[in-house]
Amino acid sequence: MSLVGLRDEARKLRDEAPKLLDVPGMEAGARGERGGGGPAGGEGGRPVEAARLEALTVHLGKVEKITAKGPKTYEYYFASWKMGGRVVNKYIGSPRKMTREEATRKARKLKAEALGL
């Protein structure tokens, strides 16, 4: 499946998760809650958190540096995602040292740390 397809699937899951958590007659344990906590507290909201980790984009950026010998172009991976209504951009690494899949894994790890998951 392509990255666009994965992102669309993650958005779909993110949108459907709150509806599934509010099904009438469902016991708290079936929703993943412990006690009276809702999706914002405790263990509830895991599907939403998983979908949030998928909602990021890894880009291949280019930067041109002017050196004494002339201009030199470098490439690098960076990831972007929305957090609190703002776009967060994080440097991931060089495409010489990692593949796009490795960059995506590293980006998800950085986003999980930023979200506190």
User: How large is the average pLDDT for residues 83-102?
Assistant: 88
Same domain membership, residue 71 and residue 42: no
Q: How far apart, in whole angstroms, are the C-alpha atoms of residue 62 and residue 77?
A: 9
Same domain membership, residue 117 and residue 61: yes
Residue 72's pLDDT band, with cuts at 50, 70 and 90, is very high
Chain centroid to CA 90: how far?
12
Q: Is the pTM of this model over 0.75?
A: no
Same domain membership, residue 35 and residue 78: no
**Does 70 have pLDDT greater than 70?**
yes
Same domain membership, residue 66 and residue 47: no
Asked if 91 and 61 touch (Cβ cutoff 8 Å), the reply is no
Number of domains in the chain: 2
Range of the domain at 84: 56-117
> Would you state the pLDDT for residue 20?
64
Same domain membership, residue 66 and residue 116: yes
Query: Which residue has better confidence, 111 or 36?
Result: 111
Query: Which residue has better confidence, 77 or 44?
Result: 77
Same domain membership, residue 68 and residue 48: no
Cβ neighbours of 77 (radius 10 Å)? 23
Same domain membership, residue 50 and residue 14: yes
